[in-house]
Every structure is written in C-alpha cells, then in structure tokens.
C-alpha cells in the first residue's frame, strides 16, 4: 500500500490507538525521523541528484548545494568534456599545493566545512562544475502529500514511524521488538533493490540465479 501524508498520519494513529493531542502534534516529527533513518541506512536512487555550480577564477572554494549530504563525484565541464576531480583530505590538498599563488585546472577537491569544497590547485579561470551527490529529498508533510518512500517503500516507512511513535509513548517492549523486526525486514528488501538489483542488469551481470539444493 502506498502512503500519502494524510493516510500515513491516520495509519500511525490507528496502529498505536492514540489520538491524544500531544501525541498527534508530534506525528510530523515521527515521519521526519523515520525518513531520515531510512535515508542513512539504504542507498536508493531517490537519494541521488545532480547540480551545477560556478567555479570562480582565483577562488579555491566552491559552495556546496544547500541540500548536499555527501559526494558521489565532482567534475569540471570544459570544452564539452568531463574532467573528474579526485576526492582527498584537506591536508593532502594543502601539502600538495602549499603556494596559494599556484593556479591551474583543479585536479582535487576536499570537504572543507559544512558549506564549502576546497579545490586544488587554485582555479586559473572560471569553470562550470557538475556535482553528483547524496541529498535528502523533500519529506512527507501537509505541504507535500507524496514522495518516493511513501509510494515505493511503504512498509519500511510505516514501521520506522511506529518505532518513533512507540519510543515517544514508552510503549510495550514486546511490540517495540515486533515493529523493529518488521522494519529490519523491510529495509533488507530495500537494500536488495537499491544496492543490488538497481546496480546491475541482466546484460552485464547475467540473470539472477538461486542455487538448487
């Protein structure tokens, strides 16, 4: 069953049989926490996106996208050709290019802080950068009725929400264990999809086979 924001909110109330005002006021937080739990446990295509940015000549910093969480790749597009930068530690960049006056086409990048990448060498001209990265999609809310998790990962989302709700309620531990078990089973199926089936095809990897015993 696919969830919309409204149907998921109602399901949470129904499953835990709680419509008390304080509890209901926390449901949006339960949903946000549940989505974040799945986000950090499973690699899914819905959590990947691309963005372009402008590298300024003489400026060694590149501003991250506002929804950026972690990098997949950073490249420079020059003369209709991609030039991928290597991800290194800040110390490596500073040791390899100690002279801040040394410029050229950037070959390396590092996560400098929560807002910026560090580039090395310092850009010798303006470039267009393309960033492929891990990000947090828009969650379910009264202003966003549907999303990928609600549509295609409904079991995992529901049981993650119920875990959050039961923690808030300080509920029965046996039922908590049941919700956790159902969540773990659902996440394993998502991992099989996002980290297995979506990473290969029959042409290159062959048909999936289960050994006959």
Q: Which is nearest to 85 in space by CA: 44, 127, 119? A: 119
Q: Read off the pLDDT of each residue in 49-66 and give the average, rounded to a whole number.
A: 95
Q: Read off the pLDDT of each residue in 186-205 and give the average, rounded to a whole number.
A: 68
Domain boundaries, the chain: 5-44+153-201, 47-135
Average pLDDT, the chain: 91
| Residue 212: band (very low, low, confident or very high) from pLDDT cuts 50, 70, 90 | low
The pLDDT of residue 44 is 84
Share of the chain above pLDDT 90, in %: 81
Q: Read off the pLDDT of each residue in 67-83 and give the average, rounded to a whole number.
A: 94
The pLDDT of residue 206 is 59
Whether residue 121 is preceded by a cis peptide bond, meaning omega within 30 degrees of 0, is: yes
Angle subtended by helix axes 27-41 and 173-194, to nearest 10: 50
**What are the helix (H) ranges across 3-79?**
5-16, 21-25, 27-41
The pLDDT of residue 1 is 79
Q: Read off the pLDDT of each residue in 172-185 and give the average, rounded to a whole number.
A: 94
Rounded CA-CA distance 71/132 in Å is 7
Q: Which residues are paired to 87 by β-bridges? A: 109
The pLDDT of residue 196 is 58
**Tens of pLDDT along 88-100?**
999 999 999 998 8
**Tens of pLDDT along 106-158?**
999 999 999 999 999 999 999 999 999 999 899 999 999 999 999 999 999 99
pTM, full prediction: 0.82
pLDDT at 213 over 70: no
The two tokens of residue 142 are 């009264």
| Residue 43: band (very low, low, confident or very high) from pLDDT cuts 50, 70, 90 | confident
The pLDDT of residue 125 is 96
The pLDDT of residue 191 is 86
């Amino acid at each position: 069953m696919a969830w919309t924001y409204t149907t998921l909110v109602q399901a949470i109330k129904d499953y835990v049989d709680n419509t008390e005002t304080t509890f209901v006021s926390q449901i949006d937080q339960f949903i946000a926490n549940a989505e974040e739990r799945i986000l950090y446990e499973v690699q899914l295509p819905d959590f990947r996106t691309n963005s372009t940015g402008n590298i300024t000549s003489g400026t060694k910093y590149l501003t991250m996208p506002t929804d950026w969480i972690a990098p997949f790749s950073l490249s420079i597009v020059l003369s209709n050709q991609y030039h991928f930068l290597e991800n290194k530690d800040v110390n490596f960049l500073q040791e390899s290019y100690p002279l801040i006056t040394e410029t050229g086409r950037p070959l390396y990048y590092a996560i400098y802080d929560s807002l910026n990448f560090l580039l090395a060498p310092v850009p010798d001209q303006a470039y267009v950068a393309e960033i492929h990265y891990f990000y947090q999609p828009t969650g379910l809310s009264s202003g966003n009725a549907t999303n990928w998790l609600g549509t295609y990962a409904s079991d995992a989302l529901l049981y993650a929400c119920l875990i959050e709700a039961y923690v808030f309620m300080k509920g029965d531990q046996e039922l908590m264990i049941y919700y956790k078990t159902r969540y773990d089973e659902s996440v394993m199926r998502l991992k099989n999809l996002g980290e297995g089936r979506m990473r290969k095809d029959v042409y290159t990897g062959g048909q999936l086979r289960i050994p006959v015993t």
